[in-house]
Amino acid sequence: MNLFIDPARRRVRLDPRDPAFFDDPYPAYAAIRAAAPAFFWEDYGFWCFAGHAEVSALLRDKRFGRQILHVMSRAELGWPEPKAHLAPFDALEQHSILEMEPPEHTRLRTLVNRAFVSRQVEKLAPRIAALANERIDAFERDGEAELLDAFATPIPVAVIADLLGVPRAMGPQLLDWSHRMVAMYQFGVTRAVEDSAADASRAFADFMRGYARARRADLKDDLISQLLVAESEEGRLSEDELVTTCVLLLNAGHEATVHAIGNAVRTILERGLDPRAIFADARATAAAVEELLRLDPPLHLFTRYALEDVEVFGVRLRRGEKIGLLLGAANRDPARFPDPDAFDPGRDPNPHATFGGGIHFCIGAPLARLEMAVALPILFARLPRLRLTARPRCRDAFHFHGLDGLRAAWS
Ligand code: HEM
């Protein structure tokens, strides 16, 4: 791996597309954190933070925001005009909860959050179990499978489609749109990626708008109906916000969960963990899921903008400057997690940063946790001889951290 650390100047050179890095970023994180927990990542061109204390504090620091255009103009920031060919993509981003700041953020988040509180989400457990069993029924006789495609991918998309109230049959189409849009968040975006994301955004938004309009006269017990009711009440939710929220939930609701499941299966198999012990009962399962999420989270880097001139952890930032928070590095900080590379479900508390923190803390965390807590024990109980047949590799998609395949056998 080509990793250059200049501790005196706190500068790091490390190509996020270096296979040795994205395949196993943890040794690089450890070396960087030890030398400079706050460092300027030259390849990205902004300051990043790799320690747990720093990442946790900055996620909650109100002097930073996901958004900056509410306090500074593009001209002040020295940003070029938005690219015309990205208009459909930008239109969706503009109304996304993830890209908003209070008070709009609070209004929208409150509307959506009701559907995601643990009490509501728990009701989905039997459906998740049925989906997991159906998937295994479909491939069990083959004796082997690529589990990312066959198991990890179809479950989260069906669950979020059900929760929202979109037909499950749309699953493959939703996955295609979503993958093309999410590619925009990777390092080194090309014009081809932009064009594909714009096309997918347009098609996705058109579908959602048409579907929502059709459902206005057909309200049921699902999230889209709750949002449609809010939309009908003056000032609570605009149609654009409704469309964007549905797209965001469909995207966020599966991408990360697919890879959280894939990474967890890999951890269990590679480390030879005993599924009967780690999934012995509901308490053990919950603790194991937290530790699996800590050890190998699917999302490694989130950014924030300084909303004012600030100095944090010895770094002076000007208003409008971007910073990077390395969730994957924070989760292995030995100052917070003794023996950080070990799987230890006994960590209590386990304050990992996998779902972020502060006002943007993942809305879907209870759902993602439930999907893992239901699906993983079923997989290992039904296929007790499960083993890897090839060394899994990570996708070249940093800051996403997921596998490009998970070949396994059980006969
Ligand atoms: C293991 C799976 C998941 C992981 C690791 C994950 C991770 C995250 C993280 C780190 C954030 C915060 C981003 C930031 O602070 O900038 C976030 C936000 C969010 N996540 Fe998740 N997520 C997962 C699953 C889900 C699911 C299943 C859903 C929805 C159904 C979801 C919906 C959201 C939404 C809507 C936000 C934005 C919240 C806001 O800005 O207020 N996520 N997620």
Q: Ligand 1 centroid vs 3 CA: distance in angstroms?
A: 30
For a ligand 1 pocket test, name from 362, 371, 400 the mutation site with the most ligand atoms within 8 angstroms of its C-beta: 362
Residue nearest to atom 7 of ligand 1 (CA): 355
Q: Which atom of ligand 1 is nearest to the CA of 327?
A: 10
CA nearest to 155, candidates 302, 265, 292: 265
More confident residue, 343 or 230: 343
Asked if residue 372 has its Cβ within 6 Å of ligand 1, the reply is no
pLDDT tens, 32-66?
A: 999 999 999 999 999 999 999 999 999 999 999 99
Q: Ligand 1 in contact with 161 (CB < 6 A)?
A: no
For ligand 1, whether the C-beta of 298 sits within 6 Å is yes
Is the C-beta atom of 297 inside 6 A of ligand 1? yes
State the Cα–Cα distance between residues 211 and 197, nearest whole angstrom.
Answer: 21
Alpha-carbon distance 163 to 116, whole Å? 9
6 forms beta bridges with 11
CA-angle at 371, arms to 368 and 377, nearest 5°: 135
The rounded distance, in Å, linking the Cα atoms of 280 and 268 is 14
Residue owning the nearest CA to atom 6 of ligand 1 = 355
Dihedral sign computed on CA atoms, order 138, 143, 144, 147? positive
For the entire predicted model, the pTM comes to: 0.95
- Contact assessment for residue 32 and residue 329, using Cβ atoms and an 8 Å cutoff: yes
For 202-242, the pLDDT digits (tens) are 999 999 999 999 999 999 988 999 899 988 887 788 999 99
How far out from the chain centre does Cα 88 lie? 22
d(CA 80, CA 316): 25
228 lines ligand 1 (CB under 6 A): no
> Is 354 touching ligand 1 by the criterion CB < 6 Å?
yes
Gap from CA of 356 to ligand 1 centroid (Å): 8
**pLDDT for res 9:** 96
- Mean pLDDT over 320-337 rounds to 98
Q: How far is the CA of 212 from the centre of ligand 1 (A)?
A: 23
H/E element holding 311? strand 310-312
Position 160 pLDDT exceeds 80 = yes
Q: What is the mean pLDDT of the chain?
A: 94
pLDDT digits (tens, 9 = 90+) for 177-207: 999 998 898 778 899 999 999 999 999 999 9
Quote the CA–CA distance of 331 and 73 in Å, as a whole number.
Answer: 35
pLDDT digits (tens, 9 = 90+) for 243-283: 999 999 988 888 899 999 999 999 999 999 999 999 999 99
Does ligand 1 have an atom closer than 6 angstroms to the CB of 38?
A: no
The finding on whether 292 has its CB within 6 A of some atom of ligand 1 is no
pLDDT at 93: 87
Instruction: Count the neighbouring beta carbons within 10 Å of the beta carbon of residue 369.
Output: 21
Q: How confident is the model at residue 136 (pLDDT cuts 50, 70, 90)?
A: very high
- 258 — phi, psi (to 5°)? -55, -50
Q: In 3-state terms, what secondary structure has residue 171?
A: helix
Q: How many helices (H) and strands (E) does the chain have?
A: 18, 12
| Ligand 1 and 180: CB distance under 6 A | no
* 368 CA closest ligand 1 atom index: 27
* Ligand 1 lined by 302 (C-beta under 6 Å): yes
Q: Domain 4-409: state its class.
A: mainly alpha
Provide the residue type at 370 as one letter.
Answer: L
Answer for the pair 244, 95: CB distance below 8 angstroms, yes or no.
yes
Is pLDDT of 119 > 90? no
Around Cβ 4, how many Cβ atoms within 10 Å? 9
* Structural contact between residues 227 and 371, judged by C-beta atoms closer than 8 angstroms: no
Q: How confident is the model at residue 117 (pLDDT cuts 50, 70, 90)?
A: confident
**Structure confidence at residue 116 (pLDDT):** 85
Domain ranges of the chain: 4-409
Question: Which residue minimizes the CA distance to atom 3 of ligand 1?
Answer: 256
pLDDT band at 346 (very low <50, low <70, confident <90, very high): very high
CA distance 380 to 377: 5
Look at 15 and 116; give whichever has higher pLDDT.
Answer: 15
Give the bridge partners for 47, in sequence order.
40, 323
Q: Is the pLDDT of residue 99 over 90?
A: no
The answer to whether the CB of 109 is under 6 A from ligand 1 is yes
Ligand 1 atom closest to Cα of residue 302:
16
Beta strands in 158-294 (DSSP E): none
Tokens of 72: 């500074």
Q: Does ligand 1 come within 6 angstroms of the Cβ of 363?
A: yes
Is pLDDT of 132 > 90? yes
From the list 410, 337, 355, the residue with the least C-alpha distance to 144 is: 410
Q: Which of ligand 1's atoms lies nearest the C-alpha of 248?
A: 35
- Position 387 confidence tier, pLDDT thresholds 50, 70, 90: very high
Query: Distance from the CA of 180 to the center of ligand 1, in angstroms?
Result: 18
Q: Whose CA is nearest to atom 9 of ligand 1?
A: 355
pLDDT score for 185: 84
Q: Which amino acid is at 328?
A: G
**CB of residue 356 inside a 6 A radius of ligand 1:** yes
Give the closest residue to 328 by CA, choosing from 348, 347, 302. 302
Block residue for tokens 């997989």:
379
- What's the pLDDT at 231? 87
